[in-house]
């Protein structure tokens, strides 16, 4: 069994950020889908994809992410449709069918909604579909939003009992300080429970997405607490990562998670 086959035999949740699949980087959807399809052929994979708002922005004549909630909701309503269409067109090259799942923060807080979401995801995986999850930005409010899809991905990984969570963005690895500062070094492995004392994490620098380095750390710790191994790396490196290369920053999982 190859490294890719072993990775694909696991249940893997992959999150991709807005800045990786929209604007000038829209072309990264095709190689991302190629890597997803390779995993899907022999295993189970769930994609958590940001990008509805950023994808809808050009259709509304917006150059920057809107600040007011109704405009964000309008951009998401337009962009989610376009984004899913782009994913499906690319997945069709591999004869893979996508299934859209939209969640809000309240869905994870309510037992019945959480159980229904888990059952739907598990059934879709049984049916050999590729679930694509996003926050339901059209109805979410500032008070109940996940805040970023890194946290949503961690909650989904915990919900389905994933073996691995991969957080993709435009950064290759977390660093001990913002890039360009003296002494800034990439962080290869974070042992479980490591508080990362003295580390000053830099943000991704994207004006499109809502996440940053700290949101990834918080999400990684949330998933690691549940026994999920987490890797933070750049979107173009996904194929090499699942093929067995040690890339990005890996958060080791809790060796004795509560079940």
Q: Put residue 133 in one of left, alpha, beta given phi > 0 → left and psi -120 to 50 → alpha.
A: beta
Is-contact 100 66, C-beta < 8 A? no
Question: DSSP string covering 154-195, please?
Answer: HHHHHHHT-SEEEEEES-SS-BSS-TTSTT--B--EE-TT--
Residue 166 token pair:
């991969």
Cα dihedral 20, 24, 26, 32 sign: negative
At 131, which helix (H) or strand (E)?
Answer: strand 130-135
Say whether 149 counts as a known binding-site residue. Answer: yes
Determine which helix (DSSP H) or strand (DSSP E) holds 251, and give its type and residue range.
strand 249-251
Residue 167's CB is within 10 A of a number of other CB atoms, namely: 31
Q: Is 137 annotated as a binding residue?
A: yes
170 assigned ligand-binding residue: yes
The region, left, alpha or beta by phi > 0 then psi within -120 to 50, assigned to residue 258 is beta
Q: Which of 222, 236, 46 is nearest to 146 (CA)?
A: 222
168 neighbors 235 (Cβ within 8 angstroms): yes
Work out whether the CA dihedral 40, 46, 50, 52 comes out positive or negative.
positive
Residue 18 among known ligand-binding residues: no
Write out the binding residues for ATP: 15, 169-170
Write out the binding residues for substrate: 50, 137, 149
Write out the binding residues: 15, 50, 137, 149, 169-170
């Amino acid at each position: 069994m190859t490294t890719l086959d072993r990775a694909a035999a696991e249940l893997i949740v992959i999150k991709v950020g807005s800045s990786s699949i929209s604007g000038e980087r829209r072309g990264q959807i095709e190689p991302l889908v190629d890597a997803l399809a390779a995993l899907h052929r022999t295993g189970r994979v769930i994609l958590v994809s940001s990008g509805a708002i950023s994808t809808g922005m050009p259709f509304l004549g917006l150059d920057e992410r809107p600040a007011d909630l109704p405009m964000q909701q309008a951009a998401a309503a337009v962009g989610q449709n376009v984004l899913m269409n782009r994913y499906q067109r690319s997945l069709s090259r591999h004869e893979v069918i996508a299934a859209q799942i939209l969640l809000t923060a309240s869905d994870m807080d309510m037992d019945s909604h959480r159980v229904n979401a888990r059952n739907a995801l598990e059934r879709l995986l049984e049916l050999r579909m590729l679930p694509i999850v996003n926050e339901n930005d059209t109805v979410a409010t500032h008070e109940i939003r996940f805040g970023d899809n890194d946290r949503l991905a961690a909650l989904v990984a915990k919900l389905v009992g994933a073996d691995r969570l991969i957080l993709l963005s435009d950064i290759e690895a977390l660093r001990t300080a913002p890039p360009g500062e003296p002494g800034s070094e990439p962080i290869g492995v974070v042992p479980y429970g490591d508080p990362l004392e003295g580390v000053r994490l830099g943000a991704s620098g994207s004006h499109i997405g809502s996440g940053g380095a700290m949101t990834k750390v918080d999400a990684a710790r949330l998933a690691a607490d549940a026994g999920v191994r987490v890797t933070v790396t750049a979107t173009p490196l996904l194929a090499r990562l699942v093929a067995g290369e040690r890339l990005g920053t890996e958060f080791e999982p809790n060796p004795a998670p509560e079940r």
